[in-house]
Amino acid sequence: MEHALTIALLLIIGFNPGFLLIRVFGVPGDPDTLEDACVRLRRESA
């Protein structure tokens, strides 16, 4: 399940690791959590 989620994230971001890090973990001072980012990604891809 974890691997499927990782692959899905890679497909969504087009294999750009920098974008993944910014998108999932946020920039310093960004209050978003990993869960918030996943929810946002799901909402945008729907």
The string of pLDDT tens digits covering residues 13-42 is 665 566 656 666 555 555 556 677 778 888
Question: Which residue's entry shows tokens 């960004």?
Answer: 30
Tell me how many domains the chain contains: 1
Q: Is the pLDDT of residue 9 over 60?
A: yes
Task: For residue 16, give its domain range.
Answer: 2-45
Q: Is the pLDDT of residue 7 over 60?
A: yes
Q: What percentage of the chain's residues is helix, strand, coil (to nearest 5)?
A: 70, 0, 30
In angstroms, the CA 42 to CA 46 distance is 6
